Structure 1
Amino acid sequence: MTQNHERALRSKPLPRCEQALLLVDVINPMNFPAADDLLAHAWHAAQRVARLKKRLAAQDVPAIYANDNYGTWHSEFRDILAACQMLHGTRGQIARLLTPTPDDLVILKPQHSAFHSTPLRHLLSEMKVRKLTIVGWAADMCVMLSATDACMLGYEVWVPQDCIAAETPERYDMAVALLGGAFDCSVRPASRARATTSAGAKK
């Protein structure tokens, strides 16, 4: 057995932190019919996500990628990442900008919510997480459903409104209004957040 294989089988302790960053579907081929309507907004949001991720990493806040597998059950996340990184234009730029680091955690999800049929809840429990910062796309689908599930499970949730994207301004505005209103998430922009970020800080 090679050293690389030995390292792959060696368990690594999970980080312990009361807060975690959840990146929803940011590694994405965007090959659905309305993807072009989402791309420009997603690229601007991706740049802010990258800055927020770097800032949180400096505070030892772990990052968890919750990514769709796009129906490719015979592949794994590294295959999806490599394919998205090779895409031309904005699609590839986003994947390259938001490529996970070796310390980041990754789960694959079969449906919209990052909690549905995934080990995310168990993972967060093991990490002692109480607060979630949720970013990604689409704001009115996978981000919203992940955030509302997190709220119902008792997590304090921050969805920075400048770190999410939707296909239309109307869908984006609807998602922000519902998250910040009915579900009582913080939706304050990451660009206005304090240096010491807390998911529980209010809007």
Structure 2
Amino acid sequence: MLTVKAAADMTGLTVKGIRFYEKIGLLKPAARSPAGYRLYSEEDIARLHKIHFYREQRFSLEDIAVLLNDPDVDLRSYLKRQLFDIESQIQELEHIRITLNKALEENDCGEVLEEENRSSLERSRVAIVGTDLQNDFLDGGALPCRRIYNVIKPLEAFFARAREMKIPIIYVCDSHHRNDPELEIWEDHAIEGTWGVQVIQELRPDPRDFVLKKNYFNAFIGTKLQNTLKKLGADTIILVGWRTHVCVAQTAIEAFHRGYRVLIAEDCVDSTTQVEHEFGLNLLRVNYGIEVLPGNDILEYMAEMSGETQPG
């Protein structure tokens, strides 16, 4: 049995931290010596090592409690969610790094930061969300369909102009492990670490774009999409991507219920058949009043609106 000081030295934690974990129930109450000192067993030390490890991986205390106490916990699901969170944080830091480097490269770094701030405010009301623009839907992929080629060139032009207008682009990409529930319905696809999960070369993200991962049809579920849109200040979403009647539609409906104005760039979405594509568009038009317009018309409208709101 070890004293709290010895337990701290062995685990790399502080005495205060160990007592805190005991207080909130992550660690069982310590045994006591005849003199009243806390004493910790080998089992306690092993548990403290696990707590320390999970904290280093940036898991919340609530998640750690589940991971340690629930024998039936789906560990892979927790690890995947945490990985998504960490990758989102890395991406946010990359955006900050780009901004700071850009400022430092100029003589008047303060003016550059002011310009970046103004640009952010000007673009903040609208964001583009693209779903499943990935290799596995191309020839040679796990779920190939020639119709996806219909959207590649229109999206190339759409994304290029949107970046010129400083409209943020958020890619939300399918991402799976072998035992994901969706793979019981569809063949294995968008498996982490494969060519198929990567974004189509012609549509590859710019460093300033956002790339999120999802493992459900709805791009809001289990992702950082809501947080990203909130940080951007967006109240309008332009949806583009693959499978109009599935991932695009479910994401659009969710966005509608969350209070966003939603537009569909009709030449930048498609599905596995024309019937499915038209079904998806009609579902969104009729039931939710979602605007469906050519991508260029949407950007023209956004440019006019931006011009009207700029002074002078």
Q: TM-score, normalised by structure 2?
A: 0.51
* 1:128 aligns with one of 233, 241, 249: 233
Q: Distance in 2 between the 1:57 and 1:50 partners?
A: 11
Could you tell me whether the CA contact under 8 Å between 1:85 and 1:96 is conserved in 2? no
Pair 1:138 & 2:243 matched = yes
126 and 72 in structure 1: CA distance in 2 versus 1, 3 angstrom threshold: farther
Aligned twin of 1:100: 205
Q: Match of 1:161, SS?
A: strand
79 and 101 in structure 1: CA distance in 2 versus 1, 3 angstrom threshold: farther
Aligned twin of 2:168: 62
98 and 113 in structure 1: CA distance in 2 versus 1, 3 angstrom threshold: same
Which protein shows a greater Rg? 2
Q: Distance in 2 between the 1:138 and 1:110 partners?
A: 15
Aligned twin of 2:44: none
CA offset digits 1:110-145 (Å, max 9, x no partner): 100110111111111111011111101111100100
The residue identity in structure 1 corresponding to 2:174 is: D
Give the Å deviation of 1:182.
Answer: 0.8
Aligned twin of 1:4: none
110 and 59 in structure 1: CA distance in 2 versus 1, 3 angstrom threshold: same
Q: Match of 1:150, SS?
A: helix
Give the Å deviation of 1:10.
Answer: 8.9
The residue identity in structure 2 corresponding to 1:54 is: A
The residue identity in structure 2 corresponding to 1:117 is: G
Q: TM-score, normalised by structure 1?
A: 0.76
Aligned twin of 1:25: 132
Identity rate, percent: 20
Aligned twin of 1:148: 253
The residue identity in structure 2 corresponding to 1:43 is: Y
* 1:118 aligns with one of 223, 230, 242: 223
CA offset digits 1:35-68 (Å, max 9, x no partner): 44x32x2112121111111111111101111001
The residue identity in structure 2 corresponding to 1:65 is: Y
Which consecutive residues of structure 1, in runs of 5 or more, have no partner in the other structure? 1-7, 87-93
Which has more helix, going by share of residues?
A: 2
Which is bigger in relative contact order (C-alpha 8 A, separation at least 6)? Answer: 1
Give the Å deviation of 1:79.
Answer: 4.3
> Number of aligned pairs?
177
26 and 50 in structure 1: CA distance in 2 versus 1, 3 angstrom threshold: same
Give the Å deviation of 1:146.
Answer: 0.6
191 and 123 in structure 1: CA distance in 2 versus 1, 3 angstrom threshold: closer
Could you tell me whether the CA contact under 8 Å between 1:162 and 1:191 is conserved in 2? no
Moved over 2 A (4+): 8-16, 70-73, 76-80, 191-198
Give the Å deviation of 1:27.
Answer: 1.7
Aligned twin of 2:302: 197
Q: Distance in 2 between the 1:146 and 1:124 partners?
A: 13
Q: Distance in 2 between the 1:123 and 1:77 partners?
A: 24
